[in-house]
Amino acid sequence: MSRIGKAPISIPAGVEINISNDNTVTVKGKLGELSQKIDDAIKLSINEGEFILERTSETKDAKSKHGLYRALINNMVEGVTKGFSTVQELVGVGYRAKNAGQRLELALGYSHPIAFEIPAEVKLETISDKGKSPLIKLTSHDKQLVGQVAAKIRSLRKPEPYKGKGVRFQGEEIRRKAGKTAG
């Protein structure tokens, strides 16, 4: 049995969960509203402030979806109460980031600046302190969207293994390689 799937999700105060007839779960909270379509192999129920997911069959497909949907709904509940954020740093000489509303302007060592449009659900903040690497902070109630936008920004200039220059997540360890002279 899925250890993650069988754990009930506690519903905090101020969060409202609705289950529609077509197995769509909608979670509303102070930070926003999220919805997720759930497969028919999973039975949903709410009782005594807890959200419970159960399998309707013991097939391999149903077992794999049991833990998946429990994790997705738990992330939705956590997102509408606390929210999710990720911080990225730009490591490299001349690498800069600035924002104008939801438009992120990046200078990443290319011959041209890169303009990146951020979705409206994600709050964007850039921090540029003298003597430190510029930071990009993304905040939203949707964990999947924050991760997707952060991955797209990182893909514009991935950290390289020799000098470590590029866009990386704050605290990320880059595996470094020795150059040609190390022999």
Which CATH topology does 9-81 take? Outer Surface Protein A; domain 3 (3.90.930)
pLDDT digits (tens, 9 = 90+) for 10-53: 999 999 999 998 889 999 999 999 999 999 889 998 988 899 99
What is the CATH architecture assignment of 84-169? Answer: Alpha-Beta Complex (3.90)
Phi first, then psi, for residue 68 (nearest 5°) are -60, -50
Q: pTM for the complete prediction?
A: 0.88
pLDDT digits (tens, 9 = 90+) for 52-76: 999 999 888 888 899 999 999 999 9
What burial class does residue 87 get, using C-beta atoms within 10 Å of its C-beta: 0-12 exposed, 13-18 middle, 19+ buried?
middle
Q: Could you state, in order of their start, the residue ranges of all structural domains in the chain?
A: 9-81, 84-169
